[in-house]
Amino acid sequence: MKGAIIQPSFLPWRGFFDIIRKSNIFVFLDDVQYDKNSWRNRNKIKTSRGTQWITVPVLTTGRFGQKINETEIRNDSGWRDKLLHTLYFNYRRAPFFDTYFPVLQDALTKDWALIADLDIHLTLEVMRLLGIETKTVRSSELKIETDDKNERIVHICRELGIQHYLSGPAAKKYMSGFPYENQGISIEFMRYDYPPYDQLHGTFEPQVSIIDLLFNKGGEAPSYIWNYPKAEKN
């Protein structure tokens, strides 16, 4: 049983969906502290002026320590119209814009209260578009009570029967030295090595939201993700 655990992210990049596809079960880590100015409520797109942030504003003032699944969207800010206008202005000439923009428009205009709910809904929609059938669960449904990152991983893996844990390379720093093998869990770190694809607006930019790949390559998007990742075992 392969599994991965990652915090919900707003329209994340292609590597996020690669690790989901490689998993038998994927856990949205939604019951840990919300980190301000992170991928939870924003991501990057490609524009004629370089990369640009697209953001869903959230309420953080006086709410230090709130969890991701407690973080409210600031719905009095007009963010939906601004975000949709930004996407339209920068991608309307993309080959598959008319195919995918209505899906985003429908999702973004729903009445969302919490950023975790929006993030997870959008991720599930993109999974559907990419043909990913991995089972998903929220960590908050598991009631794991520990703040230690490594212990949390072990508890979640035990709860779900995960024996082979997939992780992004950034986690090596805190996972190094922890005896996962003694817990019956093997570790595999992803190596995100993907090919470029045709984009709008000049020089290729790899670190952008998955929507850039969808708008530009449509149904060919999986061939720019699945065939190129390499993995490094610990």
- CA distance readout (Å), 5 to 9, 103, 171, 222: 12, 26, 11, 21
- Asked whether residue 122 carries a pLDDT value surpassing 80, the answer given is yes
Look at residue 64 in the predicted model and tell me its pLDDT: 87
The band of 226, judged by pLDDT with boundaries at 50, 70 and 90, is confident
Contacts of 193 (CB under 8 A, 6+ apart): 228, 229, 230
pTM: 0.94
CB 54 within 8 A of CB 19: no
% of residues, the chain, pLDDT over 70: 97
Element (H, E) at 45: strand 42-47
